[in-house]
Amino acid sequence: MQEGSRTLVLGSTSRYRRELLQRLGVPFDVAAPEVDETPLAGERPAELAKRLALAKARAVAARFPQAVVIGSDQVADLDGESLGKPGNHDNAVAQLNRMSGKSVIFQTALAVVCAETGFEQLDLAAVRVQFRRLGAEEIEAYLRKEEPYDCAGSAKSEGLGIALLEAIDNDDPTALVGLPLIRTCRMIRAAGVKVL
């Protein structure tokens, strides 16, 4: 840790978020947020992502009050319906069939909290992804090769999943992978963590 900089904790067990945060070269710890991720009745995808990101950051900050804690959550938004992690092959096939030829918004929420100072910020990166029309054989081949069952929307744009897409439109290139690093840098600096 650099002098004058607060300890940073990633409130997530996602290996994707951990790998992204490592890019910044800032030392950090990882803690499981232990938050119920069940959507509330009628909750829109963006609101679900924001609520969960903040709940994760607050839960971990309660255990590490002096640290700056990052919480994040991503929800795929298909015509206003939340699509989470498929969890298995059959669910992934169903998700990709539904998203075939459609525009999906991946809502990636980011919360940064420091309980000791009262610092709390929340932001949302909305990434519009246009899926190609996908055939059953393509979907099956992709899923067998990449097994993206732990990814919202069943596709990894940072891997072979890019072949399923026609376009990605966003303002924070790592947001689709699960942690918008431009926003992360801005928010953790504001909370007292030195990035450079």
One-letter amino acid of 8: L
Give the single-character DSSP code of 172: S
Q: Which residues are catalytic?
A: 73
How many Å apart are CA 156 and CA 139, to the nearest integer? 13
Tokens 């990636």 — which residue? Answer: 108
Q: State CA 32 to chain mean position distance.
A: 15
- Per the CB < 8 A criterion, the answer to whether 92 and 143 are in contact is yes
Q: State CA 34 to chain mean position distance.
A: 16
Alpha-carbon Rg for the chain, nearest whole angstrom, is: 17
Distances (CA, A) of 113 to 4, 92, 144, 172, 179: 17, 33, 39, 21, 15
Pairing of strands 68-78, 81-83: antiparallel
| Alpha helices, H only, 23-113 | 45-63, 89-99
